[in-house]
Structure 1
Amino acid sequence: MIFGLILAGGVGSRMGADKPKQYLEIGDKPIIVHTIERFIEYESFEKIIVLCPDEWIGYTRDIIKDKCENKKAADIEIITGGDSRNETIMNGIAYIEEHYGVDDDTIIVTHDAARPFINNRIISENVGKTLEYGAATTAIPAVDTILDCNNGVIENIPDRSSMYQCQTPQTFHAKQLRELYFSLTDSERGILTDASKILVLSGKKVAIVNGERTNIKITYKEDMIFAESIAKQIFSIRSATCS
């Protein structure tokens, strides 16, 4: 079985808004609703699960009901996330274990709620690469020079040709990810910046799926300008396709 986990635990402190960024609107819809609608288009999900802070569960349920145009949104589960990204994913796996069971073939596709321009191609390739390699993460080649710095001073300039910028989805076999996560020490868990590092620290392969420049994570105020522009282009393309 394949499950979609939409991670909606961000508080949006860098956005400076009065609510978490995933609930801000682009094109008259909350960002998280755009993300959910794209996930619904991938028809192989057994269930889509949204994980958010407990105090936002009711609000999330209401906006999905009011704003999501796809009737399948009524089947989405909304549960409480954790104190960190990886704890949130573990909560998702625990929920799947309780309600559906988890075995060696159970796959989870984890994605940022604040990346609303995900598409079916990226999700499908994530699942395919995970079946082939065991895990996958979405990334795009770095176009800028990357500086490795310490205390504001450059220590190293890596070869850009081998550098990638990580996006999401990140896709895993749920059982393996959970076992590897709980096998790490507290200090190892403390340096985790994303779930794929759980496998990297354990010597496992994580395949790269080519992302897209439009698969942006909305983090800063100026990102909303880019997002509105991308949303208009997507709406224009979809309208032309349907006409």
Structure 2
Amino acid sequence: MDKVAILVAGGRGTRMGTSISKQYIPIGGKPVLMHTLEAFYHADSQIRLILVLPKDDFEFWKDLCFQYDFTLAHQVVSGGATRFQSVKNGLDAISTSSGLVAIHDAVRPFVSGGVIKESFEKAEKSGSAIAVVPLKDSLREVSIHDGWSQFRERHKYRLVQTPQTFQLDKIKKAFETPERGEFTDDATVYEFQGWQVTLIDGNMENIKLTTPEDLEYAEFLLSRKK
């Protein structure tokens, strides 16, 4: 089946505290986005790559690609006001409704090739494949009203990552639904249709780069590859 990856980088990432958005910060000698695009290309060179960026950043990204001699083929699509809208714009850029699509946070450059491959394989069979990892720490449910808390069994819970991969016709239909507050990721949009999501094992290094400490960890991970 045809495979597409939508890499979503439509936000500004203010928590990083830098003058440029986190997706453009260099790690290991080149911007984060380039690492993420390469991760999908190296997993399967036949995956069509769609990068969702703020419209105002198109020229900046073009200049970065020239500066770093980055020639990996990809399509750039304008992001929306929210992640939901950015993903929908990416889906709308795909003219067909057949095939598979992986939706991925573009600031997760350390997704493994094995996870990418398995996500497509599993989604082809079951309709969806959501990367998750187990919790390491103890878990408590806390009431925001009175501070009450209660222990929860961590083995019953998972932390959700991306990619979140789907049969294209199903996820396109799911995104025809008006945006809702409970849509925290693509899996919740899919699930809103009454469809059960399928979970796959993610990789622990696949963190979302959000804070300066994450950048330090990113440099450490890259140093291990040398």
**TM-score (norm. length: structure 2):** 0.92
Provide the aligned C-alpha RMSD in A.
1.8
Residues in 1 aligned to 2:66 and 2:218: alpha-carbon distance in whole angstroms: 23
Deviation at 1:201, TM superposition (A): 2.5
Secondary structure of the residue that 1:157 maps to in structure 2?
A: strand
**CA distance 1:33–1:68, change in 2 (3 Å):** farther
CA contact (8 A) 1:33 1:67 kept: no
Write 1 or 2 for the structure with the bigger share of helix: 1
**TM-score (norm. length: structure 1):** 0.86
Q: Deviations over 1:145-204 (max 9, x none)?
A: 2232232624443321111111111111222112123245x5xx2221101011222221
Q: What does 1:189-200 correspond to in 2, within 5 Å?
A: 189-200=180-191
Identity, % of aligned positions = 28
Q: 1:142 aligns with which of 127, 135, 141?
A: 135
Greater alpha carbon shift after TM alignment, 194-203 vs 57-66:
57-66
Secondary structure of the residue that 2:63 maps to in structure 1?
A: helix
Q: What does 1:77-92 correspond to in 2, within 5 Å?
A: 77-92=75-90
Deviation at 1:141, TM superposition (A): 0.5
CA contact (8 A) 1:22 1:114 kept: yes
1:178 matched to 2:172: yes
CA contact (8 A) 2:112 2:203 kept: no
Q: Deviations over 1:120-140 (max 9, x none)?
A: 111100001101211111110
Q: Which residue of 2 aligns with 1:118?
A: 111
Letter in structure 1 aligned against 2:192: L
Residues in 1 aligned to 2:66 and 2:38: alpha-carbon distance in whole angstroms: 12
Secondary structure of the residue that 2:175 maps to in structure 1?
A: helix
Q: Which residue of 2 aligns with 1:239?
A: none
Q: Which runs of 5+ in 1 are unaligned?
A: 237-243
Q: Which runs of 5+ in 2 are unaligned?
A: none
CA contact (8 A) 2:133 2:159 kept: yes
Q: What does 1:199-218 correspond to in 2, within 5 Å?
A: 199-218=190-209
Letter in structure 2 aligned against 1:81: G
Q: Which residue of 2 aligns with 1:231?
A: 222
CA contact (8 A) 2:13 2:22 kept: yes
Residues in 2 aligned to 1:36 and 1:76: alpha-carbon distance in whole angstroms: 8
Deviation at 1:111, TM superposition (A): 0.9
Residues in 2 aligned to 1:129 and 1:55: alpha-carbon distance in whole angstroms: 36
**CA distance 1:51–1:173, change in 2 (3 Å):** same
